[in-house]
């Protein structure tokens, strides 16, 4: 039970985190299926331990949010979510619940469950007056202006109905989505995970001209409130909406039994791939509106509808070829060229195969039929081979003996799975090195994406990172598709990067194993590039968290004349080579000492104490060893304290630590 409580807390936290990613940032990290399974687990636990249920649990509340910048709209009729089902049994249970509550004849309507985002549209005397997002179901965002850019939303109805509020799903058609992501890719911008996120991201733009460009569409699926229509069934309502000028989710089916409704669900499932828009399931709804009223709703979902959700997709396709790509550090990565196939929202035609071992272990041959899935709905991967389909014409992949880009020999790095190009001036390596150099965590040169770098390399303007700082506005403006304004912006972004902290430059050099974190630590410690270049392996490994391999790579990098020259040129061109991090104090009694923290401290978090130690030139480690100089012990100190006593290491209180810093 203690475990159940812990797991419930954990699930609530996880669900809250992923909801934020999904609804607020429009960039999910896990698949919807995975999300639904977590929610399901929480629901089950709440069923078993009702007294542990949080009144604001994600299972009872429609989750969503309102972002700043839009007016909020209170929904007179709450915009609820739907109960979901993942099997036929669950659909039958839904039917049983309905029949128990309302005896007599029940009719069902089955519809596509459009994978977009829910909006409400309000009309007064036939005129579109307001449109809003669902938000948390009770309060949403006023996105009227953006909705006006959706061509299939009528601004004036065919009849001047006194009052009408309808609900629909705004979505981005598959083809529009593919085009948008292609454009984003060409510009080197991050891609949308799927059409739903693209639609949500587009509709929630404060600048409605962006929404206009995005080619959004809508299916209307419900009448929320009306005056003057006099409608008895859902089916009738959809027909009326169609007459009034709406694009509806109407599929012209009414079933007398749940079996009939489920047959429609299966029909929709079979159509799924061929539809020009994404659906994530099918919705079964009670047709009669009076019956709906009798059934009512929970705080989260109506009792008169259920959504059958389709499982995460795995698709079979043909592996046409395996081609290799040369990375920034010369690493040669085999990539699968696939017969294009649509998986979980986007067309996949390439996936990485990582290295030769990966291919051999899975026994993947060129010409095989393979199964493709998207990890977390985002990154495509090959999950298996259909060996039954083999014809005998499949061929094994071999690593090329020489680099396809520069012709230098390819070698397998000892002790690693990777193959590498040995050519120092390999153009493929150069492009990727420069992409890394300009990237956000490195020199952060906005606008210097792969497309422009490639052009600059093509015309021979740049051969190294230093050349970037000698480009003129004219050089850039002369490139194909570059205007004066963008050239100017790029030049000022390059200029701005000269003022970066030293750690960015160190990271931008792309020394293997030297990540962002170690770059920060090394830069803060050595203060100038000159010092780093002169540092020995011993001096580098003496810094906490810098491993031997990283240190060796750094020394090796700076021992090469071409790299020394690059640094000197960058310096001459005005690129900053000093650290802006606060200087560690060396006159404090903490300087150079190793500390271990254990227990709880009133008024100080662990992070606070680490900061105090580091600001005073000491370091904090996780476990007690002979090398530890002091252990700082608070309340409830455990095994670390015992270990310190065993090793005769001085134990300090927080007050004693503070007095050492004076």
Ligand X SMILES: NC(=O)c1ccc[n+]([C@@H]2O[C@H](COP(=O)([O-])OP(=O)(O)OC[C@H]3O[C@@H](n4cnc5c(N)ncnc54)[C@H](O)[C@@H]3O)[C@@H](O)[C@H]2O)c1
Q: Which residues are annotated as a binding site for Zn(2+)?
A: 403, 406, 421, 426
What is the binding site for Zn ion (CB under 5 A)? Answer: 403, 405-406, 421, 423, 426
Largest CA distance in the chain: 89
Cross-strand pairs, 327:
none
Q: Which of 84, 122, 368, 405 binds ligand X (CB under 6 A)?
A: 84
Query: Could you say whether residue 28 binds ligand X (CB under 6 A)?
Result: yes
Query: Could you say whether residue 283 binds ligand X (CB under 6 A)?
Result: yes
Burial 165-182 (b: 16+ CB within 10 A, else e): bbbbbbbbbbebbbebbe
Query: Could you say whether residue 247 binds ligand X (CB under 6 A)?
Result: no
Q: Which of 106, 258, 307, 609 binds ligand X (CB under 6 A)?
A: 307
Cross-strand pairs, 462:
none
Residue 301, contacted partner among ligand X, Zn ion, none, CB below 5-8 A by kind? none
Q: Which is nearer to ligand X, 24 or 513 (CB)?
A: 24
Residue 169, contacted partner among Zn ion, ligand X, none, CB below 5-8 A by kind? ligand X
191 φ, ψ (degrees, to nearest 5): -85, 155
Find the part of the chain contacting ligand X (CB under 6 A) among 27-35, 365-373, 500-508, 582-590. Answer: 27-35
Find the part of the chain contacting ligand X (CB under 6 A) among 87-95, 109-117, 411-419, 580-588. Answer: 109-117
- What mask, x for binding ligand X by CB under 6 A, covers residues 580 to 619? ----------------------------------------
Kindly state the smallest distance separating residue 112's Cβ from ligand X, in Å: 6
CB within 8 A of 319, min separation 6: which ones? 336, 337, 338, 364, 365, 366, 367, 368, 369, 370, 382
CA distance 182 to 184: 5
Kindly state the smallest distance separating residue 136's Cβ from ligand X, in Å: 10
- Annotation says 113 is catalytic: yes
Three-state DSSP at 227 gives: strand
Query: Could you say whether residue 204 binds ligand X (CB under 6 A)?
Result: no
- What mask, x for binding ligand X by CB under 6 A, covers residues 57 to 76? -----x--------------
Q: Which of 32, 107, 141, 405 binds ligand X (CB under 6 A)?
A: 32
Three-state DSSP at 389 gives: helix
Burial class (CB in 10 A: 0-12, 13-18, 19+), 212: middle
The pair of structure tokens assigned to 277 is 């828009």
Residue 277, contacted partner among Zn ion, ligand X, none, CB below 5-8 A by kind? none
Query: Could you say whether residue 171 binds ligand X (CB under 6 A)?
Result: no
Kindly state the smallest distance separating residue 3's Cβ from ligand X, in Å: 25
CA distance 3 to 371: 37
Three-state DSSP at 447 gives: coil
Kindly state the smallest distance separating residue 37's Cβ from ligand X, in Å: 9
Give the angle subtended at the CA of 134 by the CAs of 19 and 127, to the nearest 5°: 160
CB atoms near residue 336 (< 10 Å): 26
Residue 405, contacted partner among ligand X, Zn ion, none, CB below 5-8 A by kind? Zn ion
Cross-strand pairs, 384:
371
- Give the active site residue among 9, 48, 113, 473: 113
Q: Which is nearer to Zn ion, 270 or 401 (CB)?
A: 401
DSSP string, 491-532: HHHHHHGGG--HHHHHHHTT-TT--HHHHHHHHHHH-BHHHH
Three-state DSSP at 560 gives: coil
Q: Which is nearer to Zn ion, 187 or 560 (CB)?
A: 560
Q: Which of 8, 11, 26, 30 binds ligand X (CB under 6 A)?
A: 30
Q: Which is nearer to ligand X, 83 or 333 (CB)?
A: 83
Residue with tokens 């009702």: 50
Q: Which is nearer to ligand X, 196 or 436 (CB)?
A: 196
Kindly state the smallest distance separating residue 35's Cβ from ligand X, in Å: 4
CA distance 107 to 303: 14
Query: Could you say whether residue 365 binds ligand X (CB under 6 A)?
Result: no
Q: Which is nearer to ligand X, 86 or 469 (CB)?
A: 86
CA distance 306 to 312: 19
Kindly state the smallest distance separating residue 183's Cβ from ligand X, in Å: 24
Query: Could you say whether residue 21 binds ligand X (CB under 6 A)?
Result: yes
Kindly state the smallest distance separating residue 515's Cβ from Zn ion, in Å: 24
The pair of structure tokens assigned to 461 is 């303007």
Q: Which is nearer to ligand X, 219 or 507 (CB)?
A: 219
**How far from chain centre, in Å, is Cα 526?**
35
Q: What element of type H or E holds 562?
A: helix 561-572
Kindly state the smallest distance separating residue 222's Cβ from ligand X, in Å: 6
- Long-range contacts (CB closer than 8 Å, 24 or more residues apart) made by 258-261: 258/91, 258/92, 258/94, 258/95, 258/108, 258/284, 260/108, 261/91, 261/108, 261/109, 261/110
By CB under 6 A, the residues from 378 to 407 that bind ligand X are none
Known binding residues for NAD(+) are 32-36, 81-82, 111, 134, 169, 285, 309
Query: Could you say whether residue 249 binds ligand X (CB under 6 A)?
Result: yes
Q: Which of 24, 36, 272, 451 binds ligand X (CB under 6 A)?
A: 36
Cross-strand pairs, 631:
596, 651
CB atoms near residue 83 (< 10 Å): 16
Q: Which is nearer to ligand X, 113 or 303 (CB)?
A: 113
Kindly state the smallest distance separating residue 561's Cβ from Zn ion, in Å: 20
By CB under 6 A, the residues from 111 to 140 that bind ligand X are 111-114, 118, 134
Residue 403, contacted partner among Zn ion, ligand X, none, CB below 5-8 A by kind? Zn ion
Say if strands 217-227 and 163-171 run parallel, antiparallel, or are unpaired.
Answer: antiparallel
Query: Could you say whether residue 199 binds ligand X (CB under 6 A)?
Result: no
CA distance 510 to 517: 13
- CB of 71 closer than 8 Å to CB of 142: yes
Chain residues that interact with ligand X, rule: CB under 6 A: 18-19, 21-22, 28, 30-32, 35-36, 62, 81-82, 84, 111-114, 118, 134, 169, 221, 249, 283, 307
Active site residues: 113
């Amino acid at each position: 039970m203690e475990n159940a409580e812990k797991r419930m807390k954990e699930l609530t936290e996880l669900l809250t985190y992923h909801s934020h990613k999904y609804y607020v940032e429009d960039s999910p990290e896990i698949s919807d299926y995975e999300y639904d399974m977590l929610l399901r687990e929480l629901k089950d636990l709440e069923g078993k331990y009702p007294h542990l249920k949080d009144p604001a649990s994600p299972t009872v509340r429609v989750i969503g949010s309102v972002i700043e910048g839009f007016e909020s709209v209170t929904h007179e009729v709450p915009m609820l979510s739907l109960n979901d089902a993942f099997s036929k049994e669950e659909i039958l249970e839904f039917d049983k619940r309905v029949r128990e509550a309302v005896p007599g004849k029940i009719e069902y309507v089955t519809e596509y469950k459009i994978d977009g985002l829910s909006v409400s549209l309000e009309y007064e005397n036939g005129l579109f007056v307001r449109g809003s997002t669902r938000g948390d179901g009770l309060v949403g965002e006023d996105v009227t202006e953006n909705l006006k850019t959706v061509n299939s939303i009528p601004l004036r109805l065919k009849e001047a109905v006194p009052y009408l509020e309808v609900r629909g799903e705004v979505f981005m058609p598959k083809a529009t989505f593919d085009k948008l992501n292609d454009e984003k890719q060409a510009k080197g911008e991050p891609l949308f995970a799927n059409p739903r996120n693209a639609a949500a991201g587009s509709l929630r733009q404060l600048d409605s001209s962006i929404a206009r460009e995005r080619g959004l569409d809508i299916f209307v699926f419900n009448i929320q409130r009306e005056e003057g229509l006099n409608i008895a069934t859902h089916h009738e309502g959809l027909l009326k909406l169609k007459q009034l000028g709406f694009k509806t989710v109407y599929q012209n089916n009414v079933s007398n039994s749940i079996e009939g409704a489920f047959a429609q669900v299966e029909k929709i499932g079979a159509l799924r791939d061929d539809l020009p828009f994404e659906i994530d399931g099918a919705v079964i709804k009670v047709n009669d509106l009076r019956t709906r009223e009798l059934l009512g709703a929970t705080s989260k979902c109506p009792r008169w509808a259920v959504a059958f959700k389709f499982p995460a997709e795995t698709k079979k396709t043909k592996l046409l070829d395996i081609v290799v790509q040369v990375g920034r550090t010369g690493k040669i990565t085999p990539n699968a060229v696939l017969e294009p196939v649509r998986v979980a929202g986007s067309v996949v035609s390439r996936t990485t195969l990582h290295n030769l071992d990966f291919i051999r272990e899975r026994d993947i041959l060129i010409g095989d039929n393979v199964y493709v899935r998207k990890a977390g709905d985002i990154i495509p991967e090959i999950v298996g081979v259909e060996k039954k389909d083999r014809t005998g014409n499949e061929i094994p992949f071999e690593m090329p003996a020489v680099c396809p880009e520069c012709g230098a020999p390819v070698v397998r790095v000892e002790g690693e799975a990777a193959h590498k190009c040995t050519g120092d001036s390999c153009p493929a390596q150069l492009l990727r090195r420069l992409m890394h150099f300009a990237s956000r965590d490195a020199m952060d040169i906005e606008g210097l994406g792969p497309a422009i770098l490639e052009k600059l390399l093509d015309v021979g303007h740049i051969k190294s990172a230093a050349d970037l700082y000698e480009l003129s506005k004219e050089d850039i403006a002369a490139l194909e598709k570059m205007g004066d304004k963008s050239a100017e912006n790029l030049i000022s972004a390059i200029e701005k990067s000269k003022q970066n902290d030293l750690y960015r430059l160190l990271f931008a050099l792309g020394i293997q194993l030297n990540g962002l974190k170690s770059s920060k630590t090394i830069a803060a410690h050595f203060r100038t590039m000159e010092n780093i270049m002169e540092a020995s392996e011993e001096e580098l490994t003496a810094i906490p968290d810098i491993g031997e391999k990283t240190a060796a790579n750094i020394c090796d990098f700076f021992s090469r004349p071409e790299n020394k020259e690059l640094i000197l040129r960058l310096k001459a061109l005005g690129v900053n080579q000093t650290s802006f991090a606060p200087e560690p104090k060396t006159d404090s009694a903490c300087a150079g000492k190793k500390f271990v923290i254990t227990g709880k401290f009133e008024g100080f978090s662990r992070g606070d104490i680490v900061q105090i130690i580091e600001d005073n030139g000491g370091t904090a480690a996780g476990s007690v060893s002979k090398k530890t100089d002091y252990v700082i012990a608070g309340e409830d100190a455990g095994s670390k304290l015992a270990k310190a006593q065993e090793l005769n290491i001085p134990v300090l209180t927080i007050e004693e630590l503070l007095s050492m810093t004076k």
